[in-house]
Amino acid sequence: MSRIEQLIGEIEEYIDSCKFQPLSNTKILVNKEELEELLVELRLRIPDEIKQYQKIISNQEAILNEAKTQANAMIQEATVQTNELVNEHEIMQRAYAAANQVVEEANAQAQSIVDAAVNDANSIRQSAIQYTDDMLKSMQNLLSHTMEGAQTRFESFMSSLQSSYDIVTSNRAELSGANQNQENPEPPAETTEN
């Protein structure tokens, strides 16, 4: 597990351990310095790990250059051998054949080295891309989890507010009805005298 993944886990644990703000189901109290410390370390780690993978990818160039250097050295060696054998015609023919064989072997070996280097570089690049995608997926999951938690707490808070609002409305309606009854008392029933 990389340090970035550890930091993401620590941030999640820290958020889950925070207490709610009084009279709120959605807002939490956080220690600003502690959270900023975790976020600063996370910001610092991401570029370092990306640079590390970029460095690995850039080594592809070094591997290819080394392969080319080896191929050039083999070709030069073959050329030197050919030049030493060109004194006489028969020797020159044998030297030419031997030189061609050496050149072909050198080219085949150089191509093999280049192919292996390209395969290694592609594999490293793919691993770096996969790792970066995994990190982004972890961050996306953290954000999604945080948003879902906040939405749930917000909906609970709104439900609580709606309940309180309904009670206040009902109480006002009752008070309003009682107040009208006092302002417009019913007239007393008329009595008829015999």
Of 43-52, 72-81, 166-175, the poorest mean pLDDT is in: 43-52
Digit-coded pLDDT (tens) for 64-120: 788 888 888 889 888 887 777 666 667 767 878 888 898 898 889 989 999 988 988
Within 10 angstroms of residue 110's Cβ, the number of other Cβ atoms is: 19
Distance in angstroms (rounded) separating the CA atoms of residues 150 and 27: 8
- Which residue type sits at 56? I
Residue 63 banded pLDDT, cuts 50, 70, 90: confident
The percentage of residues in the chain with a pLDDT greater than 70, rounded to a whole number, is 87
User: Is there a contact between 115 and 64 (Cβ–Cβ < 8 Å)?
Assistant: no
pLDDT tens for residues 127-165?
888 888 888 888 788 888 888 888 888 898 999 999 999
Strand ranges inside the chain, DSSP E: none
State how far the alpha carbon of 100 is from the alpha carbons of 5, 85, 97, 127, in Å. Answer: 56, 13, 5, 40
Looking at residue 161, its pLDDT comes to: 92
SS3 193: coil
Contact 64, 118 (CB under 8 A): yes
Please, what is the end-to-end C-alpha distance for the chain in angstroms?
104
Q: Residue 90 has which token pair?
A: 């028969």
- What integer pLDDT is reported at residue 3 of this predicted model? 76
Q: Which residues contact 145 (CB under 8 A, 6 or more apart)?
A: 12
What pLDDT shows up at residue 193? 54
Q: Is residue 191 pLDDT above 70, yes or no?
A: no
Higher pLDDT, residue 186 or 66: 66
Domains delineated in the chain: 3-143 (1.10.287)
Sign of the Cα torsion 12, 16, 22, 27 reads: positive
pTM of the predicted structure, to 2 decimals: 0.35
- Reply yes or no on whether the pLDDT at 47 is more than 60: yes
